[in-house]
Amino acid sequence: MNILSPSILAADCARLGEEISLVEAAGAEYLHIDVMDGMFVPSLSFGMCVVSSLRKVTDMVFDVHLMVEEPIRYAADFAKSGADIITVHLEACSDVEETLDWIHSLGRKAGISIKPSTPILAVEKYLDKIDLLLVMTVEPGFGGQKYIPASTARIREARQLIDARQAHVDIEVDGGITRDNVQVVLDAGANIIVAGSAIFNGNIAENVKNMMEILAPGPDGK
């Protein structure tokens, strides 16, 4: 099943609750929440208080992407705040397995994210410990970037690896995804689509509708 996960990094913070209501009413099931610490990536963004506040106004699946050093330090706080999926960067964990096990012990789904420069094979040994693999299609840390074309082959490689291992792992993509290229990443094997500017710039409800029409399965179920 293909899923749209609108990224609130591109939303208007002054109207955050209202804009989330719009994407939810339009049919989006997930909400992508980027957390940046100014260390792993240069930028700063949302923290636990934002997640807990938003949890009060929506039942959407909170897809929380921790772009922070040693995310194991914050997993419990984000779980308590309302995160449903907690994704950490392979490059940011001194002990990846311990971090993933800790997230699962909190009753949450666990994901690994990798930068464009990190080989896909680096996640192979963790496939039995993750629910989701987030393949970054831009450099993490800033919204509004253009999709890196080389990402398509990386997504395809990730899908082949997961299928070969018969692992039950979703492939999420994040960065520069628009109506013009979303079919490319779907065809390569991604099934969770993060979109920020493509959703929150302009008519939000219409943008969600148009994107989800592309994500909808065809007659062959794909």
Residues marked as binding?
7, 32, 34, 65, 141-144, 174-176, 196-197
**DSSP class per residue in the chain:** --EEEEBGGGS-GGGHHHHHHHHHHTT--EEEEEEEBSSSSS-B---HHHHHHHHTT--SEEEEEEESSSGGGTHHHHHHHT-SEEEEEGGG-SSHHHHHHHHHHTT-EEEEEE-TTS-GGGGGGGGGG-SEEEEESS-TT-SSPPP-TTHHHHHHHHHHHHHHTT---EEEEESS--TTTHHHHHHHT--EEEESHHHHSS-HHHHHHHHHHHHS--TT--
Out of 37, 95, 174, 187, the active site residue is 174
Out of 34, 37, 63, 131, the active site residue is 34
Q: Which helix (H) or strand (E) holds 114?
A: strand 109-114
Beta-bridge partners for 6: 195
Closest-CA residue to 190 (of 140, 144, 219, 152): 152
* Distance from C-alpha of 23 to C-alpha of 215, rounded to nearest angstrom: 15
Is 34 catalytic? The answer is: yes
Is 37 catalytic? The answer is: no
Would you list which residues are annotated within the binding site for a divalent metal cation? Answer: 32, 34, 65, 174
Among all residues, which ones are annotated catalytic? 34, 174
